Amino acid sequence: MGEFKVHRVRFFEYLPSAIRALAFNKDSERMAVARTDGAVEIFNFSDNYFQEKVIPGKDSRAAETLCWLHHRLFAAGLNGEITEYDLENLKPRSSVETFGGPVWTIGCNRQGTMLAAGCENGTVKIFEVQEEKIQLQRSLERQKGRILSLSWHPSGAQLAAGTMDMIRIFDVQTGCATHRLLVDRGVGTCRNREVVVWSVLFLSDRTVISGDSAGKVQIWDGATGTLIRTHLVTKWDVLALAVSQDESSVIAGTSEGTVVQFQFLPSTMGQQEKEWVRTRTFKNHSHDVRALIHTDTAVVSGGMDTQLVVRPLLDKVEKNTQESSMRKILFPHKPLVDCAHRAGLLLFQFTDHLELWRLGESEGQGKPGESLPVKKKPEKLIHLKKKGDDHICSSALSSCGGWLVFSTICSVRLYRVQLSNNTVSLTKVSKLPRILCWAHQLCFSADSSRLFAAGARSSVHVFSLSQSECKHIHTLRPKSGSRQPLHLLCVSQDGHWLAAANTDCEVTVYDLKTMKLHCTVPVYSSCPTAMAFHPVYNNLLMTHADQQLSEFSVQQRSYTEWSRALHRRGLHPLWLKRDTPVTHITFNPTNPAHILLHDTYMFCIIDQTLPLPDEKSVLFNQMMLRSLPESERMRHSHAFKICKNFQNILCFDLLEDQSLVVVERPLLDIMSQLPAPVRQKKFAT
Amino acid sequence: MAALYEGYTLFGLVQSQISSHLGIRGIEQERDDDHVVVTDSTRSVTLYKVSDQKPLGSWTVKQGQTLTCPAVYNFQSKEYVAISDKRVIRIWKEGDVLLDKTFKATVSSDIWRVQSAPEQEPVVLFERGAVRMLDLLLSDPQQSIEEVLDQDELIRWNTVILAESRQFVIFTTEQKGKHFLYLQRLNPNTLQRYQLEREESGLAPLSCCASYREQNICLLYLYPNGHLYQSVVSTRGWGTEDGRQVLPLPRRLLLSLSVGEGPLEAASALELDEAHVAVVGVPHPSAGTGKDFLCIWNTNFQTLQAAKEMGGKIYGQLWCFFNKLFIPHGKTLSVIPFVCPKSSLASALGKLKQAKSEESKSPASVPSWNSILHGEKVQPSRPQETKKRLTRKTQSTTCLTTDQVLELIKTASAEDVQREVEGVLTRSDAQNLQQSVSLFVSALVSRSLEESSFYTPSTLARLVHTQCMSHSVCPELLLLALERKDYFLCQLCLQFFPDIPEAVTCACLKAFVSMPDTDAEKVSLEPDSVSFMETLISGKHVGNYVQNGFSPSPLDVEHTDALSGDGVAIQTKTKEEETAPSEPTCPVGLHKAVLLNEVLQTAYSDTFLLPHLKDLSSEQVILFLQYLQFLYLKFSQDAPTQMHGLRSPSLAQIVDWVCLLLDAHFTVLVMTQEAKGLMLNLHAFVKSQVRLVSELGKIEGSLQEINKMKVKKEIGQYSIEVIELF
């Protein structure tokens, strides 16, 4: 395959936000993740934990709590509003003021008719859920302290609410507090500080379980209001609790980053009487565990260290399967970096600004494994801040580097970038067509003459670009009439074809010459995660969340022979075992048989001319091939050239001069940016 | 060790044979190691397969005719040759049924014997000393035969030897009480005549045998007085035909066998290999006067290697083919397999692991598939030597001898006991040794305890040296040694016993510490440990005084003011030189130190040792502590002394003992005025060591990080690298 010059970029200072809340919809197996920057991400747990949708955040709005109500997602935060999200257009649909100050927690009853919100002023407000909106029904008896946690009894008749120093049990019907459970304060100096009941659970047998700032998990009898058992879990706070569907297991997340499991078990073998026993402790986080979900098979946790961790419970899953391996989701499943191949520019997308960098240059040649002297350092050309509160949801850079576009949920800004030797000029295209008011995907054609923007209901708006003008030409709509948003867009090199993929797994190919829908790719069960057109044959190469690869011939409207061969043979088990999706595909224009793709932990160049590896061959064979003499290599090599020299890859692309660009974001760099974790006494410190 | 295996009967002798004094006329080797041709004393020749104990064929001459010499097998023509009535040569094949219908030839002179060697033409020896090859004789049977011997000279014995692919006919003659040996070489024929040395009172050799070894012909002849002589005749260097010149034949007494009552009548000696001789018809040295024994003697060491009693009359006949002895006795002819393993110094010293392979254990009577299928040759047996001449005990009765020795121990004098036990030790193998050693020691110790005059230090030392013992086998031994002041034995016990109880260790310690140095110097001790102590005490490393971080000056600097001026410092220096000499001197004598070292090296558990240690008196404790301190100082200064490879206590052991001693006697030491200086010295030294060790710990801590360090490439914010994909 040969030698490559690699630009190893580590100056993209991307910092994911901490996870604040989690909500899991058991019917659709969607996990909603709220981050402290206000963004809400939707992960499809049934499709390999793929991040389907991202609802961008807003400066003034940060979700403190999340709640699914059937397929509706509600969030509430310290701005005092309860917001329902539009999961099709990826923006808030409606907001309702609670008039109780900041909302700390919301929860709906199991019947799905009521939504309760715990407010700063000490009231629990009950909202009636209606078709299109929610309406305040009434407030429950007001308490002294803020309501920090609440939990409905499954019957819907009662509600437990955690406040400062106590837990209250309300009768929803009458709105009166029926019990008052006093929670002990911590010992020592914490004695003077009131204890915060961070989380409370109300089980169907009227057991109330609470987690508080004194590090206790307490089990109460909700019927009598008496304390049954106290488990001191940590010296710090117990921040989150979650219960399994069958109420046999409860997990508690602590400030130490541990998750402690309690199980409802007979205390001695064979005895009927059960009690809550502390069983396992997981330590997957370095910082606070702020949110927890107990799915049927796994513990899902998230917190200050920004990672979403899916920790399977090994007694619930089959051993040594894909399901039994722990997953850490570190990075978004969509690219945040765009690369202008021809200009050698990189566009970094942050939530509140964009950065445009020019890559450096080196001189001379080097042997494999060596670093070349950098003649010219990389240079930050533009630091472009967003306007307004809304965060940037998408951006694009044309491959010539002449155009730059980004979008928030309410506006799109298009800029003309001019780079002469030492001066950079950025001109905003002032008059944009009205239809281009927001877009969750943006892309330029290869010749930079057209801009494509993903609109509502899977539609694609096509704009033509001239020197300083942007004109709407056409809107392409899919035949299926799907309401889901598009999450992938790509244009063929010759500008003839456009492919658009939505989260319903539909991939539609449009003919840009006729501006008509050309065909749809047969729907595959797993969502496409990246796609690209072959530069010569215009075959559409797609990767899916379940790690499958397919190549679709647009002309023939069928899968190509290579794709069929790949499916017949099956992908290598190690390939399928990878736990991060491929997020970007590109081709090598000088050798179109080479497909370049990457996930978080490797990049791969697939040579379509070489034989495919079978199950028994070594997938990661680069080391082996290196040790072989030249003549032997051909015999042992296969199509998948995988390089793991680079880790935590956010972008992998090929520049026009055949040098590769790898943008890495080392975890250590992220960790160093996080606030310090709670101090723990370690030996000899 | 040569050994005789269980024999088996080849066939029974018929009545006529028993009555005659001649058991059978002869046994000759047939085609291989498993076939023999037996000629009985009268008329018949029988072919036997030995391992099957079965006759394969039998031929008889007519009534009235007799076979006058043993039939032989002609290896070349695969025919049998026998002489009937001294003049008729009969030749037949195995397939012939009747002897009368086979080839006969009558010769002109009386034949003494026909003899055959493998791959050679049979040779005919006439009574008058002439020798002819059989084929030449048969070409003209009636040819005239010359007379070599004098008229009154009679052939007594003869044999054929194959030497350097040439046949030698050897025969002895008797003439007027004189005995001659004729050595006839064939092709070209030369004859040499020797005269045997005269044995006392004109005794004639009872049996002879000859063997060829290293270009010499070895002759063994046994006289009725039990003397077995060996003569060696070179096969070379006598090419000239000296005719009748008689050369004297030098001889060497190999064995002098005790003959019991009266001279031997029917006895025979047969050489098995260069070191072993089988003798039949000679009394067993320890079993009275009965002469019906088959014995194997080692001629190098004059030891009896194996013996077997043969029932019934002994005819004094013995043949040996391929590690099997053929011996007619009583009414049977027995076949007795034997081995004579090669002797070596290692086996003589008992260091050779005697792998008693199955092969050698099982007698050849059981046909082995290997030998049947592949005709595998049995390895010729080799002798094994032992060290000492035995007079009474034999290998085959080890158990008995152990018991006997035990009996002996109870009564006999110390010297006897010593000799006998030594004897048993030299020939016992490892398994038996363990048992017998413990028995001997127990018996010896119990006798010594009973009789205060009885004590066998060297024997006990030898027994302990076998390393087959432990303290628990005979708990009284060490205490006895202490009681008898046998400090050498004490040393050995401390060295070799793994399980000495702490109480006994302490008793030893006490005895060693309190023993006067003059006594100790008389004791001879193990040289290794002594030489170690000598080097330590002589102190070759005088120059390197400040070693291992220790310098004694802090001791006094601390006593005086640290800020004192130069003058004071010098003063303290001189004071120190007065009180504690710069070079530590050993507080005990050399031998005492050696013994104390042994105590230091014994295994112990401190919980058990501590109570016993408290029994020491304060003087003993101080002395011992002084000694320990001396060792400690020496070891700290001259660490390399431990590298001698000699048995020596380790520094850790010394420090452990110091701790123990201080634990046990701290109050006493604090109270005792004499101990004060010692304790202060020790403290100062230990303090300096602690300081040193803490510094070492720091160094170790820093250096440890080196191992942990991984060379990680520093990757900056941006770099341009070159990679290669294959």
pLDDT in tens, A193-248: 889 999 999 999 999 999 999 999 999 998 898 999 999 998 889 999 999 999 99
Other C-beta atoms closer than 10 Å to the C-beta of A321 total: 10
Distance CA B220, CA A519 (A): 117
Q: B628-681: per-residue pLDDT in tens?
A: 988 888 888 765 555 556 678 888 888 899 999 998 898 888 888 888 888 998
- Which residues of chain B does A6 touch, with a Cβ-Cβ cutoff of 8 Å? 720-723
Answer whether residue B559 shows pLDDT above 90: no
- Output the pLDDT for position A545: 92
Chain A residue nearest residue B724, CA to CA: A3
Instruction: Give whole-number Cα distances, A667 to A354, A601, B93, in Å.
Output: 21, 12, 102
B724:A3 CB<8 A: yes
What does the radius of gyration of chain A's CA atoms come to, in whole angstroms? Answer: 27
Chain A residue nearest residue B723, CA to CA: A368
B45 close to B58: Cβ distance less than 8 angstroms: yes
Instruction: Give whole-number Cα distances, A47 to A44, A541, B518, in Å.
Output: 5, 19, 95
Select from A9, A363, A371 the residue whose CB has the most chain B CBs within 10 Å, as the one to mutate to test that interface. A371
B720:A643 CB<8 A: no
Tokens 């102590």, residue located: B533
Q: B407-441: per-residue pLDDT in tens?
A: 778 887 888 888 877 777 776 665 667 777 888 88
Q: Looking at residues A610-639, what average pLDDT do you find?
A: 84
Task: Name which of B629, B649, B645 is nearest B637 in CA terms.
Answer: B629
Q: Looking at residues A170-174, what average pLDDT do you find?
A: 90
CA of A383 to nearest chain B CA: how many angstroms apart? Answer: 18
B720:A368 CB<8 A: no
Q: Looking at residues A588-593, what average pLDDT do you find?
A: 89
- Output the pLDDT for position B386: 38
B725:A643 CB<8 A: yes
- Output the pLDDT for position A259: 94
- Output the pLDDT for position A452: 93
- Output the pLDDT for position B640: 53
The residue type of A36 is T
Cα angle B598, B601, B603 (rounded to 5 degrees) comes to 125
- Does any CB of chain A come closer than 8 Å to the CB of residue B431? no
- Which residues of chain A does B721 touch, with a Cβ-Cβ cutoff of 8 Å? 5-6, 8, 366, 369-372
Select the more confidently predicted residue: B223 or B259. Answer: B223
Cβ-based neighbours of B505, under 8 Å, separated by 6 or more: B494, B599, B602, B604, B609, B612
Which residue among B717, B719, B726 sits closest to A622, beta carbon to beta carbon?
B726
Chain centroid to CA A411: how far?
23
Q: Residue B526: phi, psi to the nearest 5? A: -60, 125
Instruction: Give whole-number Cα distances, B327 to B13, B159, B314, in Å.
Output: 11, 18, 8
CA B695, B696, B697, B700 torsion-angle sign: positive
- Which residues of chain B does A633 touch, with a Cβ-Cβ cutoff of 8 Å? 726
- Which residues of chain B does A588 touch, with a Cβ-Cβ cutoff of 8 Å? none
For residues B203-241, one letter each, b for 16 or more C-beta atoms within 10 angstroms of the residue's C-beta and e for the rest, the string is bebbbbbbbeeeeebbbbbbbbebbbbbbebebeeeeee
Length of chain B: 726
Q: Where are the beta strands (DSSP E) in B40-177?
A: 44-49, 54-60, 67-74, 79-84, 88-92, 103-106, 111-115, 123-126, 131-133, 154-163, 166-175
Instruction: Give whole-number Cα distances, A534 to A530, A595, B697, in Å.
Output: 13, 9, 66
Answer whether residue A444 shows pLDDT above 90: yes
- Output the pLDDT for position B156: 86
A39 close to A19: Cβ distance less than 8 angstroms: no
- Output the pLDDT for position A148: 92
Task: Name which of B456, B322, B326, B462 is nearest B387 in CA terms.
Answer: B462
Which residue among B717, B718, B723 sits closest to A4, beta carbon to beta carbon?
B723
Distance CA B478, CA B472 (A): 10
B720:A4 CB<8 A: no
Q: Strand order in A584-587's β-sheet?
A: A584-587, A594-598, A603-607, A640-643
Which residue among B717, B720, B726 sits closest to A6, beta carbon to beta carbon?
B720
B79 close to B39: Cβ distance less than 8 angstroms: no
Cα angle A274, A278, A281 (rounded to 5 degrees) comes to 150
How does DSSP classify residue A135?
Answer: E
Answer whether residue A57 shows pLDDT above 80: yes
| A314-323, B364-373, B379-388, B529-538: least confidently modelled range | B379-388
B723:A6 CB<8 A: yes
Answer whether residue A614 shows pLDDT above 90: no
pLDDT mean across residues, chain A: 90
Structure tokens at B418: 């010593």
A4:B717 CB<8 A: no
B718:A367 CB<8 A: no
- Which residues of chain A does B718 touch, with a Cβ-Cβ cutoff of 8 Å? 7-11, 360, 374, 377-378
- Output the pLDDT for position B18: 56
- Output the pLDDT for position A548: 92
Structure tokens at B642: 């431990």
Chain A residue nearest residue B720, CA to CA: A7
- Does any CB of chain A come closer than 8 Å to the CB of residue B714? no
Q: For chain B, report the end-to-end CA distance as a whole number of angstroms.
A: 71
B718:A1 CB<8 A: no
SS3 at position B670: helix
A5:B720 CB<8 A: yes
CA of B721 to nearest chain A CA: how many angstroms apart? Answer: 4
Answer whether residue B485 shows pLDDT above 90: no
- Which residues of chain A does B724 touch, with a Cβ-Cβ cutoff of 8 Å? 1-4, 368-369, 626
Distance CA B395, CA B306 (A): 7
B725:A626 CB<8 A: no
Answer whether residue A54 shows pLDDT above 60: yes
CA of B713 to nearest chain A CA: how many angstroms apart? Answer: 11
CA of A479 to nearest chain B CA: how many angstroms apart? Answer: 43
Chain A residue nearest residue B714, CA to CA: A371
Question: Phi-psi region for residue B176, left (φ > 0), alpha (ψ -120 to 50) or beta?
Answer: left
- Does any CB of chain A come closer than 8 Å to the CB of residue B720? yes
| β partners of residue A208 | A202, A220
Q: B133-149: per-residue pLDDT in tens?
A: 888 888 888 888 888 88
How many interface pairs between A and B have CB atoms less than 8 angstroms apart? 79
Structure tokens at A304: 């200050």
Answer whether residue A679 shows pLDDT above 80: no
- Output the pLDDT for position B16: 59
Pure H helices in B164-257: none
Q: Looking at residues A58-72, what average pLDDT do you find?
A: 88
- Output the pLDDT for position B368: 43
B431 close to B397: Cβ distance less than 8 angstroms: no
Answer whether residue B395 shows pLDDT above 60: no
Q: Residue A457: phi, psi to the nearest 5? A: 55, 40
Cα angle B476, B481, B485 (rounded to 5 degrees) comes to 150
Burial zone of B271 (CB within 10 Å; 0-12 exposed, 13-18 middle, 19+ buried) = buried
- Output the pLDDT for position B648: 81
SS3 at position B510: helix
Distance CA A113, CA A129 (A): 5
A512 falls in which pLDDT band (50, 70, 90)?
Answer: very high
ipTM at complex level: 0.81
Q: Which residues of A touch B (CB under 8 A)?
A: 1-11, 360-362, 365-372, 374, 377-378, 605, 621-622, 625-626, 633, 637, 641, 643, 645, 659
B371 falls in which pLDDT band (50, 70, 90)?
Answer: very low
Q: Residue B511: phi, psi to the nearest 5? A: -60, -45
What does the radius of gyration of chain B's CA atoms come to, in whole angstroms? Answer: 40
Q: Looking at residues A71-88, what average pLDDT do you find?
A: 91
A360:B717 CB<8 A: no
- Output the pLDDT for position B397: 39
- Output the pLDDT for position B557: 38
- Does any CB of chain A come closer than 8 Å to the CB of residue B725? yes
Share of chain A above pLDDT 70, in %: 99
Q: Within chain B, how many helices (H) and strands (E) appear?
A: 21, 30
- Output the pLDDT for position B200: 75
Task: Name which of B272, B271, B296 is nearest B282 in CA terms.
Answer: B296
- Output the pLDDT for position A388: 87
Q: Looking at residues B586-614, what average pLDDT do you find?
A: 88
CA of B716 to nearest chain A CA: how many angstroms apart? Answer: 7
- Does any CB of chain A come closer than 8 Å to the CB of residue B701? no
Answer whether residue B354 shows pLDDT above 70: no
For residues B299-323, one letter each, b for 16 or more C-beta atoms within 10 angstroms of the residue's C-beta and e for the rest, the string is bebebbbbbbebeebbbbbbbbbbb
Distance CA A273, CA A266 (A): 5
B718:A360 CB<8 A: yes
Q: Looking at residues A261-279, what average pLDDT do you find?
A: 87
Which residue among B720, B724, B725 sits closest to A362, beta carbon to beta carbon?
B720
Share of chain B above pLDDT 90, in %: 2
SS3 at position B444: helix
Q: Residue A9: phi, psi to the nearest 5? A: -105, 125
Q: Looking at residues A457-461, what average pLDDT do you find?
A: 91
| β partners of residue A653 | A661
